[in-house]
Structure 1
Amino acid sequence: MKDFVSNPMSLFDIRGQVAVVTGASGAFGSLAARVLAGAGVRLVLAAGRAQELEAVAQACREAGAEVETVARRPSTEADCEAILEAADRRFGGADILVVASGLNDVAPIGDMSLERFERVMSGNVTSTWLLCRAFGRRALARGRGGKVVLVSSARGKLGHPAGYTAYCASKSAVDGMTRALGCEWGKSGITVNAIAPTVFRSSLTAWMFEDTEKGRATREGMLARIPKGRLGEPEDLAGPLLFLASRASDFHTGHILYADGGYTAG
């Protein structure tokens, strides 16, 4: 470990490790896959949309990564086991788990059905729990530790007036799970942390960055509460991901890392 004095960047060296990324066709999942591929990680990428998944996988292969794909969402125990089994079969097990799968559904509570609420909770909370359990069982049995990176949100800490009862509740639950597993696995060498962004540039949020009346109004409302004075960019999430996936974060567990330009500080 003393090599960090003469070579500090060695703390972030994750070349040759194996990462499972779920939600790999989504905004953060595809970014995570490409960043990890560039860092020399072997990948198991999972998502429900097979065509989009393959496009991400091909980009990672072109970056030099070995890639296995699983065209499944982590919706059930069987799905989660299949995703982790793919890592066992192809690479001998996973060292890193990035849970980037999830969803949102916005409506005032009076207009939201129980079915819609439970769908958000299942997609954001239950699937995360199932993936952590599948990863943890394997990591504990191997006894060499591991890295779990969950995706929360500034909405896990802050409410929103536009009908976010399902989403805010689900991300608060992810925060609680992060802390609980950080405690539970603390002595095992498995760290569990979450990245919690505010709005960052993606295909889903591109309209907020555009010079339209709706884009300007929404953007200005957000910027009034972001001390850094801008919305997030993909690279704002890449650094936290590499930190939490590497030995640079070995003494950090149970943390929610807000990548939000100071949004939750005010």
Structure 2
Amino acid sequence: MNVMANPLSMFDVKDNVALITGASGAFGMVAARILAGAGCKLVLVAGNQTALDEISKECTDMGADVTCINARPATEEICSDLVAKAVDAYGRLDILVVASGMNKVAPITEMEPATFEAVMDANVNQSWLLSRAAARQMKKQGDGGKIVLMSSARGLLGHPAGYSAYCASKSAVDGIVKALGCELGKDGITVNAIAPTVFRSPLTAWMFEDNDNANAVRAGFLSRVPIGRLGEPEDLAGPLLFLASKACDFYTGHILYADGGYTAG
């Protein structure tokens, strides 16, 4: 096919098999909707069964073939099993999206070491273990694959409100992306990350409200966002589809900041 004559074909992921962890969370649900709408076969993983059922039904209603797994990718064995179940269900794995993770906010003088370790485990260790399990399968298939991790603008920038664990964890995720981008490139496996700033979600809904507190916080934040608004879920659609498709074949080891220009200034 002449790609230049049909450039949209580069973004075609129809019938690709995508494993999404944290599928009941803010970014995971967005990723599930985007890839369902693009025609992927989905393996959705989440620890919240009720929320998992809801996003599964939504994607099924969109016409997607969906397999659900109620689990958290907390150990090497679970991560390997998730990939194995994706292969059992659909015969292969083309796309991994790691949307699972957590944040615990506290000043460093008050944060317990166990809290720091829990954030690092959820955001760093699990990203590494899932990437490891997916890479093994993709290398076995022999025709490449796409790994998309979840970073944050806080992997690049600090934050004054008790984000020492979160910032450290996202910086580490960025390091994994760069290292694996170099390591797996020869196998045709691209490894990249999406790094959002504030996006509309159940956790950030208060920032979108019209009251004195929300207005003051939002104004302070928007003073550093050149686009002049907070992020919406659909702002993640283009970056994710790009990173999950053939359009990304020559792009690896990158952190794509979905931030309205926040990190540019």
TM-score using structure 1 length: 0.98
> Tell me, what secondary structure is at the counterpart of 1:127?
helix
Q: Tell me which residue corresponds to 1:180.
A: 179
Q: Which residue of 1 aligns with 2:147?
A: 148
1:15 aligns with 2:14: yes
Task: Please list, as runs of the form range in 1=range in 2, the aligned pairs for 1:81-230 lying within 5 A after superposition.
Answer: 81-230=80-229
Which residue of structure 2 lines up, in the alignment, with residue 246 of structure 1?
A: 245
Cα displacement (A) at 1:228: 0.7
Query: What is the rounded CA distance, in whole Å, between the counterparts of 2:7 and 2:183 in structure 1?
Result: 30
Aligned-partner Cα distance in 2 for 1:188–1:9: 24
Q: Which runs of 4+ in 1 moved over 6 A?
A: none
TM-score by length of 2: 0.99
Report the counterpart of residue 67 of structure 2 in structure 1. 68
Contact 1:223 1:231 in 2 (8 A): yes
Q: Where do 5+ consecutive residues of structure 1 fail to align?
A: none
Query: Corresponding residue for 1:25?
Result: 24
Hey, what's the Cα distance between the residues in 1 that align with 2:79 and 2:245?
Answer: 23
Equivalent residue of 1:150, what SS? strand
Q: Distance in 2 between matches of 1:83 and 1:215?
A: 40
- 1:51-90 CA distances to partner (integer Å, 9 max, x unpaired)? 1001101111101111111100111112112211111110
Tell me, what secondary structure is at the counterpart of 1:45?
strand
Give % identity: 62
Distance in 2 (alpha carbons) for counterparts of 1:214 and 1:19: 40
2:53 corresponds to 1:37: no
Give distance in 2, aligned partners of 1:51 and 1:114.
31
AA aligned to 1:148 is I
CA deviation profile, 1:114-145 (whole Å, cap 9, x unmatched): 00000000000000000001101111111110
The answer on 1:232 being equivalent to 2:250 is no
CA apart distance, 1:24: 0.1
Residue 2 of structure 2 is matched in structure 1 by: 3
Q: Report the Cα distance in structure 2 between the residues aligned to 1:173 and 1:161, rounded to whole angstroms.
A: 19
187-196 or 85-94: bigger deviation: 85-94
Q: Distance in 1 between matches of 2:3 and 2:226?
A: 33
Amino acid at match of 2:111: M
* 1:221 Cα offset (Å): 1.2
Could you list the runs of 5+ residues in structure 2 that have no partner in the other structure?
A: none
Q: Give, in whole Å, the separation in 1 of the partners of 2:107 and 2:48.
A: 29
Deviates more, 1:174-183 or 1:83-92: 83-92
Query: Which residue number corresponds to residue 53 of structure 2?
Result: 54
**SS, match of residue 46 in structure 1:** strand
| Cα deviations by residue, 1:37-57 (Å, 9 ceiling, x for unpaired) | 000000000000011001101
1-side partners of 2:213 and 2:55: how far apart?
30
The SS at the match of 1:6 is: coil
Secondary structure at 1:185's aligned position in 2? helix
Mapped partners of 1:78, 1:67: distance in 2: 22
Q: For 1:243 and 1:150, locate their aligned partners in 2 and report how far apart those are by CA, in whole Å.
A: 13
Name the Cα RMSD after superposition.
0.7
Question: Which amino acid letter does the alignment assign opposite residue 39 of structure 1?
Answer: A
Distance 1:21 1:146 in 2: 14
